[in-house]
């Protein structure tokens, strides 16, 4: 009978044969009760950093369990903290769950990981804690696997329909080497994004509206900042912000928190009435002077928003002051999909001409 429980694929990086045998026994016992545990585990092992990196390239993994003291390469067994290097490498190149499973917790260089999701566990507490952690995060690993499959599926379409047939056009330009690789990557990502958006009937999840934390290190259009007791969004044009020396003033628009109004609508007993009210709110309540921004959760997981941006409530700050003071106060930035709407509506508000009032006299 074929098992219906999901299977998580993990890489265990451990250089002691006896410990590897312990892992094999523990996983076999876990899998023997897979129905109650809710998932199976398929294990791949590595004894040194070099082989672990090779396994990361060869296999589609969900998580990695790393011992800190590893062989640098086959046969080199001096005590070290090579596991720290491997953890940093994984964080840089692979979206995976990471557990540091070690008898030397103090040697875990967590500051350099700069990633609170990496868990450090004491070997003395046993392997069951790793299985518990996998169970707690199983959903995100499976969702990420589905996301990778969707990305690969759409990438295949772009590759076979566009990139490969037109490859001579790509290579005929002056862009070469790694720069060309970056260009192709951007081209693929843009196609995949539009394909997935189209497949979803142009419907998006509120989380897609923001980058949390902001990706860019500099101030940018659509950045949300907590400043002087309020929430503001940067509305200075992106072309000005791209050249710090060419802009003298940074313009912010006030963001009024409408979470109470939003929650009251969602709590209404009459579902259809609530949906109509929420839809009207999302459409800026039909007012050109304001712009709706979706609710979100910040880095600490705290709910924020939604907001109504008030184009008639602006704040101008000297550029140098803004770059110094506002950049560290950013807690999110609008994603590229949502910035154009903000900018277009902001420009439309100020481009209104209006007509004289009619007098019947």
C-alpha to C-alpha distance for 265 and 150, rounded to whole angstroms: 34
What was the pLDDT predicted at 202?
73
Q: Taking CA 222 as the corner, what is the angle to CA 221 and CA 227, rounded to the nearest 5 degrees?
A: 100
Domain count, the chain: 3
Residues 170 and 78 in one domain: no
Residues 248 and 299 in one domain: yes
Residues 229 and 274 in one domain: yes
Residue 284 backbone zone (phi > 0: left; psi -120 to 50: alpha; other: beta): left
Helix H or strand E segment including 97: strand 97-102
- Is there a single domain that holds both residue 120 and residue 31? yes
Q: How far apart are CA 303 and CA 331, in angstroms?
A: 12
- Best CA proximity match to 99, nearest among 133, 72, 125, 71: 133
pLDDT value at residue 342: 96
Last residue in a domain, options 83, 108, 136: 136
Q: Which domain holds residue 157?
A: 146-203
Same domain, 342 and 302: yes
Q: How far is CA 89 from CA 53, 54, 322, in A?
A: 8, 12, 35
Q: Which CATH number goes with the domain that contains 320?
A: 2.30.30.110
Least Cα distance to 119 among 90, 147, 151 occurs for 90
CA distances to 15, 29, 129, 284 from 124, rounded to whole Å, are 17, 19, 10, 57
> In terms of domains, do 217 and 106 share one?
no
The answer to whether position 281 is within a domain reads yes
pLDDT < 70 regions, the chain: 1-3, 71-80, 173-178, 358-361
Residues 329 and 344 in one domain: yes
Any domain includes 357: no
Do 36 and 108 belong together in one domain?
Answer: yes
pLDDT for position 288: 93
334 and 212 within one domain: yes
Q: What is the pLDDT of residues 161-183, one digit of tens each?
A: 988 998 888 887 665 656 888 88
Q: Is residue 355 part of a domain?
A: no
Same-domain status, 222 and 329: yes
pLDDT at 310: 98
Last residue of some domain: 89, 113, 136?
A: 136
Distances (CA, A) of 253 to 1, 99, 280, 307: 61, 43, 21, 11
Where among 136, 155, 173 does a domain terminate?
136
Residue 361 lies in a domain: no
pLDDT for 118 equals: 94
The Cα angle at residue 21 between residues 15 and 26, in degrees rounded to 5: 120
pLDDT of residue 175: 59
Question: Do 81 and 151 sit in the same domain of this protein?
Answer: no
CATH of the domain at 81: 3.40.50.2300
Distance CA 12, CA 10 (A): 6
> Quick check: is 113 in a domain?
yes
Answer yes or no: is 115 within a domain.
yes
Same domain, 247 and 289: yes
Element containing residue 211 per DSSP (H, E): strand 210-211
């Amino acid at each position: 009978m074929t098992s219906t429980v999901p299977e998580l694929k993990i890489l265990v990086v451990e250089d002691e044969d006896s410990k590897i045998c312990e892992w094999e026994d523990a996983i076999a016992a876990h899998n023997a009760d897979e129905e109650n545990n809710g998932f199976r585990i398929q294990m791949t092992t590595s004894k040194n950093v070099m082989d672990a990196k090779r396994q990361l390239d060869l296999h589609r993994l969900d998580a990695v369990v790393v011992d800190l003291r590893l062989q640098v390469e086959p046969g080199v067994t001096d005590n070290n903290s090579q596991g720290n290097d491997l953890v940093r490498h994984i964080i840089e190149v692979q979206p995976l769950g990471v557990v540091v499973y070690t008898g030397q917790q103090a040697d875990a260089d967590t500051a350099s990981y700069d990633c609170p999701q990496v868990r450090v566990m004491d070997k003395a507490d046993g392997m069951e804690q790793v299985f518990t952690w996998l169970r707690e995060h199983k959903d995100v690993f499976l969702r990420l696997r589905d996301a990778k499959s969707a990305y690969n599926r759409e990438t295949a379409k772009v590759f076979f329909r566009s990139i490969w047939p037109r490859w001579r056009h790509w290579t005929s330009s002056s862009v070469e080497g790694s720069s060309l690789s970056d260009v192709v990557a951007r081209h693929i990502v843009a196609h995949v994004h539009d394909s997935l958006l189209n497949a979803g009937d142009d419907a998006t999840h509120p989380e897609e509206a923001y980058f949390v934390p902001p990706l860019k290190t500099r101030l940018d259009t659509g950045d949300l900042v907590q400043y002087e007791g309020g929430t503001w969004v940067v509305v200075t044009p992106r072309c000005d912000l791209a050249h710090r020396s060419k802009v003298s003033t940074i313009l912010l628009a006030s963001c009024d928190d409408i979470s109470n109004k939003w929650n009251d609508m969602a709590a209404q007993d009459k579902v259809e009435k609530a949906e109509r009210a929420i839809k009207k709110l999302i459409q800026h309540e039909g007012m050109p002077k304001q712009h709706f921004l979706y609710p979100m959760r910040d880095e600490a997981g705290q709910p924020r928003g939604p907001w109504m941006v008030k184009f008639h409530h602006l704040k101008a700050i000297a550029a140098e002051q803004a770059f110094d003071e506002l950049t560290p106060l950013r807690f999110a930035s609008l994603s590229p999909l949502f910035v154009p709407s903000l900018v277009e509506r902001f420009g439309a508000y100020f481009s209104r001409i209006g007509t004289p009032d009619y007098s019947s006299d």
